Amino acid sequence: MSWYSNVAQLAEQLAGRDRPPAAPHDGVNGDPVLLHDGADGAEPEYRSFNALAPAPALASRLSTAAVDRVYTAFDVSQPVGQPDDLRGRDREVATLLSGVLHRRNHGIVSGPRGSGKTSLVRVFGQFADRDGVVVLYSACDDGTTFGELLRSYLEQIPPSMVDAGSIEMFEQRVLVFGADSSPYQATGVLAMLKYSQLVVVLDEFDRITDRDLHDKISSLLKLVSDARLPVRFVLVGGNSAFADIVRAHPSLMRHVTRVSTAPLPNEAVLETLDRCAERCGMVFADGAKRLIEEISCGSPYHARLFGMHGALNALFSQSHEINLEHVESGLEDAFEEWAELNPVDAHAFRDIMAGKHGPVGPLVEFARDTAHHVAADDFAAQWKTVRRQPPVEAPEGLAGLGHTVQMVNGHASFRDATAPQFLLALNQISRFPQQVKGGQRA
């Protein structure tokens, strides 16, 4: 049972509500805590809170404010809020600013899930806003029409960008812009903008599967560029985003600046962890930090997630230093959290660790190589816009991963781009004896 994932339940137990059934204590007075729920047929196992921490420490140990500080510091579920938090992406931000604001190109930001695409664009938007650029942001959704998508942006354009005498006409054009409106009509509306530059960010562009919608957006980008309007679009999505847009209008190549979010360098991962820990009044032991860096494989999402769970375990141990044992326990918490949303993948990973599909080592190395690998799609490679990397070699026993892997252009990859690091985390967990949360050995 994960202590972290049941903080609310444990707090209720301490308050005298929703207590577990009576169970033998381990010789120390205190309320019993369920460590093993007996789901596999074995007897439930309990341990006293007081066996793990002094009674006076219990209140602060489960302090909502302290837990909130950890959540806020690592901020796993949200893109970064400040430019200083975007570690290791200076070059990408500079390239996007130069391409979109100065060269007047459209931007395409591509990369796997968890690689920091949205964070990069958010920081880009902050710098653009400081230069007086109007930045409109929204996430795409599959099933929407071109007209519905564009109208959501048109309605946000401030009237100050239009001549005072044309505001009424502009608002009327936006009002009649409907689900069936075309790229030409959208260009006509945008042509009324006279003051300041406008940047339209379409995040999660890869959620759009409608080929016709891809083509209409491509047409709009081409029309806007050819008309030299003060409007630029920034598309954010997976590695196929570039191909999806350029396919309909290859001439867009000269109007696009592409930025890819490759894995972060090790130094940037370590700096990110240090900054997060500092914000919640904690510090990483060097070995603990290095372990997260090794398993996250340059992914800012995984680094923050594993770091957050390690920090929570340190918090439960009444320690301001996040040590190796805290991180090891945190990896288990992170895996269990992921497993709840990905039960089939998690089951396959557990079978691998149990040796049901042959040697574990080759599959672990496959996961590590895949996590570090940023594959270029065939269309992008054809146009020589990125340096294509050789495919990761599939090991023996790959069938054990089941549907968690897929074959793309002749080589294997994980369907869920965030999955490899969780296999690495599970492999790390399997190396250590069963642990009690909070960095304490059982």
Write down the pLDDT at residue 441.
39
End-to-end CA distance of the chain: 14
Least confident piece of the model among 16-30, 138-152, 180-194, 259-273: 16-30
Write down the pLDDT at residue 163.
92
pLDDT digits (tens, 9 = 90+) for 13-58: 434 433 334 333 333 333 333 334 444 555 444 333 333 333 334 3
What distance lies between CA 208 and its chain's CA centroid? 19
Options 3.20.20.140, 3.40.190.10, 3.90.1150.10, 3.40.50.300; CATH of 89-260: 3.40.50.300
- Reported in sequence order, the residue ranges of 293-433 that DSSP labels E, i.e. its strands, are 321-322, 405-408, 411-414
Residues in the chain: 442
Write down the pLDDT at residue 231.
95
pLDDT digits (tens, 9 = 90+) for 368-409: 888 876 543 333 433 333 334 445 555 565 666 777 777 666
Distance CA 377, CA 395 (A): 22
Residue with tokens 């209720």: 12
Are 262 and 226 spatial neighbours (Cβ–Cβ below 8 Å)?
no
Write down the pLDDT at residue 195.
85
pLDDT digits (tens, 9 = 90+) for 137-160: 988 888 889 999 999 999 999 999
pTM higher than the cut 0.75:
no
Give the pairing of strands 405-408 and 440-441: unpaired
Write down the pLDDT at residue 377.
39
User: What's the number of CA atoms in the CB half-sphere (13 Å) around residue 89?
Assistant: 31
Please report which residue ranges of 211-323 form alpha helices under DSSP H: 211-226, 241-246, 266-279, 286-296, 300-316
Which residues neighbour 140 within 8 Å (Cβ) at sequence distance 6 or greater?
A: 149, 202, 203, 204, 205, 207, 208
Domain residue spans in the chain? 1-62, 89-260, 267-441
Least confident piece of the model among 1-5, 109-113, 207-211: 1-5
- Give the whole-number percent of the chain exceeding pLDDT 90: 40
- Residue 104 scores a pLDDT above 80: yes
143 SS3 class: coil
pLDDT digits (tens, 9 = 90+) for 276-328: 999 999 999 999 999 999 999 999 899 999 999 999 999 988 899 999 999 99
